[in-house]
Amino acid sequence: MDSRAGHLKNLKPHLLPAAIFAALALAVTWPLWQPVGQSAVIQSYGDPLLNSWILWWDRFALFHQATAFFDANVFWPNADALAYGEHLLAPALMTLPFAPLVDHPAALHNLSVVQAYFFSALAAYALAWRYFRTPLPATAAGLAYGFAAYRLAQVGHIQLAHGEFLPLMVLGFELALDRPSGRGPKALLAAAALGQWLTSWYWAVFSFWCLAPYFAVRLWHRRSELDARRVMAVLAPLIIAAILTLPMALPYAKLKKKNVLIRPPEASAGFAATPRDFATPPPRQLLWGWIGERPEKFEGTNANGPSVRRPNAERALFPGLAVCLALAFGLSAAVRRRPAMESDAKISPDVELPLSARFPLRLWLAIALGLMAFCFGDRLRFDPQSDSGFPMPLALVNAFFPFAEGMRVPARWMLPATLPLALMVGFVVAQLGARAANTRSAEGRSGQTGEASRFPATVPIIISYAFIALLVLESLARPVPTQGLPAGPREVDLWLRDQTFPSPVAEWPLRADDDNQPMLHAAWHRQPLAGGTNGVFPPGYRSLMRKLDRLETPQGLAAARELRIKYIVFAATSPGVAGVSGAGGASSSPESVTRDFLLRSPSTYQAGGYRVVDIEEIERAQTQRVR
């Protein structure tokens, strides 16, 4: 009983920061968690709806076909269809406790978005507590990381918003070094590494370039303490996590061997940062977003098709005023002979300052600056469309680290940079608190009392709380724009679910470019879908979809036979699609010709404004017409 009471007492200082993080997570994701958001998805370029399907598929596959996890029901009949994009296994596992309460793919996605902000802030808080040992600096670091300006811009990419495992890996590493015989630190390091590598490919690469130098330098600094037991306490959890991750990496390795996942350098055109972008806030940020609402948009080249337009939020890299002040303070402290906290420890030996021994200021500062330099891509450009510029370190990374070449948006290196930047914020607040404590200690020894003597000790505390208030203001965001979705499966989806499996389905019209709506329907009917979209497409698949889109032609029927399609689903009425007949009575729209052909074909099932046509019936009718 006493032990349990002691644990509850230890948790008490952390309840208020956790409540603040929870409230802010709900605030920055409003209205996704409201009833209106349960059947609505974030208004974006397709990723939210795509990720909704991925999370829904993960939940289904984990319980029904775990041994064929990557054989998702899109891109039929290609194997390992899930490997053409992110698998999002770690975020999917985090939503499992709420599975009985969620009955819509979009609601599952929106829940994961809220979790991403809350747990990212909480994880950074835990790491900062390890360094600073006081609530205020840890809270500041949690706010600066969990609700970083660039993370607000990634609300539509849960594969990027989930950054909670990066600080937990650092925390597990530090604890494992301190307590090599303890099971908890090693379990934390293994679980955090596994969660990091199973979140997304971006975070797997981020973690390597952020933590490899950190781990190496920290081991070197503590080399006098190292023995075989300490080294194994750090390496064994990472090796176990790598072994457990390997089965999830093999499908990607197979596709990469076929040159499917390799994106050419021009695919990053327009997505590398310029110096101006570090002064551009994301438009969603409530305090500074009006600055980032410039009308400029830029072109990004899709590796599988024509150029597409993207919002400049991908390159809105202004970290916020609080982070800028903290970075400037950290730079000034780093250029001194010793970090500021170490010198303060000499002034007042009676005050415990764990930061002086625990926080590697210069190391985190170097990592922050290095990751921010990666945002410029392979060259420092002042015009994002320019091919000329000064060579940057990322060019060497792409040349010697083969798995980095699939990262299309160099500006996203700002995501891992938010961790050391957040720790700089915690460092500033810890420094202010230490100065206040030193002043009070000096006053106590000298016997001074009165307002004049207490005022200097109060000033750093006031500045600390003002700093926290600024962080909260910079964490606030405008409501997430949403678009409505069907509240549940169509009658056609329920009918398809009852058919023999597999009965491959194609939804007409088939879009050769991004079209995620059929994937939402596939989450409900669970039949293999010919079509869909993901990070990349199977070779030749778009060309095949274009042929299948013209089912009235011999090439269209040949494509249907090649894909082994069973059913075609289409809307029986679609306003604004029917073509205009010309003088000769022929329809001028190819889409209306195909629609008329499908409407004349025998219907297998019809409900809710949708019709299902069996390909075999179409071929039989075609054969009878020829006769």
Residue with tokens 């069973």: 566
**Looking at per-residue confidence, does 149 or 263 come out higher?**
149
Cβ(572)–Cβ(598) below 8 Å: no
| pLDDT recorded at residue 390 | 79
| pLDDT recorded at residue 153 | 85
Q: Show the CA angle centred on residue 120, arms to residues 365 and 249, nearest 5°.
A: 90
CA distance 417 to 434: 26
SS3 (DSSP) at 614: strand
**Looking at per-residue confidence, does 161 or 10 come out higher?**
161
Check whether 383 has a pLDDT greater than 70. yes
Residues 6+ apart with CB under 8 A from 522: 53, 73, 74, 505, 529, 532
DSSP string for residues in 226-265: --HHHHHHHHHHHHHHHHHHHHHHHHHHHHHHTTSS---G
- Tell me the whole-structure pTM to 2 decimals: 0.88
Task: Please write the tens of the pLDDT for every residue from 460-475.
Answer: 888 889 989 999 999 9
| pLDDT recorded at residue 451 | 46
CA-CA distances (angstroms) from residue 451 to 443, 448, 455, 456, 457?
Answer: 12, 10, 6, 9, 10
* Residue 306 CB neighbour total at 10 angstroms: 8
Task: Please write the tens of the pLDDT for every residue from 21-34.
Answer: 999 999 999 988 87
C-alpha 580, offset from chain centre = 45
CA distance 111 to 98: 9
Cβ(38)–Cβ(104) below 8 Å: yes
Task: Please write the tens of the pLDDT for every residue from 247-301.
Answer: 999 998 888 887 776 666 566 667 888 898 899 898 888 888 887 665 444 444 4
Residue 549: band (very low, low, confident or very high) from pLDDT cuts 50, 70, 90:
confident
Check whether 354 has a pLDDT greater than 50. no
CA distance 88 to 201: 9
CA-CA distances (angstroms) from residue 49 to 151, 262, 367, 553?
Answer: 19, 24, 34, 32
Burial profile 66-88: b = 16 or more Cβ within 10 angstroms, e = fewer: eeebbbbbbbbebebbbbbbbbb
Q: What is the DSSP letter of 430?
A: H
Cβ(96)–Cβ(121) below 8 Å: no
Check whether 351 has a pLDDT greater than 70. no
Highest mean pLDDT among 117-131, 170-184, 373-387: 117-131
CA distance 489 to 482: 19
Check whether 61 has a pLDDT greater than 90. yes
Q: What is the mean pLDDT of residues 120-146?
A: 95
361-374 vs 321-334: helix axis angle to the nearest 10?
130
| pLDDT recorded at residue 574 | 58
- As a whole number of Å, the end-to-end CA separation of the chain is 88
Task: Please write the tens of the pLDDT for every residue from 356-376.
Answer: 456 888 999 999 999 999 988
| pLDDT recorded at residue 350 | 38
